[in-house]
């Protein structure tokens, strides 16, 4: 949606135009469904309390372009956006972030940062939470996760998979995070060394695509004939 009032200045438009575009698309990333490397960004923030981080507005994306270009120059496909002195995980580029691991209580858990006004309440995020809770095979949580938690889990071998999630790509597997001078290597599929995604990441991707293409029945109201 864009404002269309004929004026020069800064202010709310009294007219607007909304675009709805329906089009077949290819893979979101040029490399296709392949795992990505992330640069954990500590010197810049994507969103902050009281801001617009939970809204789909252009002002959230333009400031992220330069940091992403900087990450690309260093060989990373995306930024891992952090917040606060404890370096909380927020988003992966423009995607919601998910961690699949064994938590400190020994429970297999899928966790994503909670909606606190800085996280976009993505449709794909909500779809993943709904599906995995229906499967009822592991714990599903929305809560704060810090880089200290990730480093500890990596050291103890508790990370199973990590991925980003969004409308454009559905899910995007993560294979490496560079943080504070060190690399964190995230497992993919240990049973298939050629795989570019973990088993859960692939299952989520396939489940959502099957519903989108009408090959599987989704929860009531998910698919509507247009």
Q: Is 119 inside a domain boundary?
A: yes
Q: What is the dihedral of CA 44, 156, 128, 87, to 10 degrees?
A: -20
**Residue 50 CA, distance from chain mean position:** 21
* pLDDT surpasses 90 at 33: no
The stretch 57-79 carries a mean pLDDT of 93
Residue 210, pLDDT > 90, answer yes
Of 220, 194, 179, which Cα lies nearest the Cα of 39? 179
Closest CA to 44 of 25, 26, 71, 20: 71
Residues sharing a CB contact under 8 Å with residue 4, sequence separation 6 or more, in sequence order:
13, 15, 16, 17
What pTM value is reported for the model? 0.92
Contact between residue 127 and residue 166 where contact means Cβ atoms under 8 Å apart: no
Place of tokens 């299952």: 203
190 closest CA partner among 202, 199, 181:
199
Question: Is 78 a member of any domain?
Answer: yes
Q: Within a domain: residue 130?
A: yes
**pLDDT band at 222; cut points 50, 70, 90:** confident
User: How much of the chain exceeds pLDDT 70, in percent?
Assistant: 96
* Largest Cα span, the chain: 60
Mean pLDDT value of segment 13-37: 83
pLDDT in tens, 114-124: 999 999 999 99
Residue 218 forms part of a structural domain: no
Read off the pLDDT of each residue in 43-58 and give the average, rounded to a whole number: 91
Residue 220 covered by a domain: no
> Quick one: average pLDDT of 67-83?
96
The dihedrals phi and psi of 164, each to the nearest 5 degrees, come to -100, 160
CATH number at residue 127: 3.20.10.10
| Residue 74 maps to a domain | yes
Structural domain including 144 reads 28-212
Number of domains, the chain: 1
Residue range 163-170: mean pLDDT, rounded? 93
Cα–Cα distance between 200 and 158 in angstroms, integer?
15
Average pLDDT over residues 90-98: 96
Report if residue 221 sits inside a domain. Answer: no
Residue 124 in any domain: the answer is: yes
Residue 132: CB atoms within 10 A of its CB come to: 20
């Amino acid at each position: 949606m864009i404002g269309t009032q004929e004026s020069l200045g800064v202010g709310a438009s009294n007219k607007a135009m909304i675009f709805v575009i329906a089009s077949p698309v290819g893979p979101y990333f040029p490399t296709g469904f392949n795992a990505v490397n992330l640069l954990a960004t500590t010197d810049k923030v994507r969103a902050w309390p009281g801001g617009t981080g939970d809204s789909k507005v252009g002002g959230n994306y333009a400031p992220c372009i330069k940091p992403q270009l900087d990450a690309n120059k260093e060989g990373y496909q995306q930024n891992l956006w952090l917040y606060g002195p404890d370096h909380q995980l927020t988003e992966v580029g423009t995607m919601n972030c998910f961690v699949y691991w064994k938590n400190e209580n020994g429970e297999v858990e899928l966790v994503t940062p909670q909606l606190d006004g800085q996280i976009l309440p993505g449709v794909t995020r909500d779809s993943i939470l709904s599906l995995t809770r229906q499967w009822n095979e592991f714990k599903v949580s929305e809560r704060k996760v810090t880089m200290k938690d990730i480093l500890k889990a990596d050291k103890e071998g508790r990370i199973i998979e990590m991925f980003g999630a969004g409308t454009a790509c559905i899910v995007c597997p993560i294979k490496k995070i560079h943080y504070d001078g060190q690399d964190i290597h995230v497992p993919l599929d240990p049973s298939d060394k050629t795989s570019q995604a973990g088993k859960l990441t692939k299952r989520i991707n396939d489940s959502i695509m099957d519903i989108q293409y009408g090959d599987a029945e989704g929860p009531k109201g998910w698919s509507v004939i247009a």
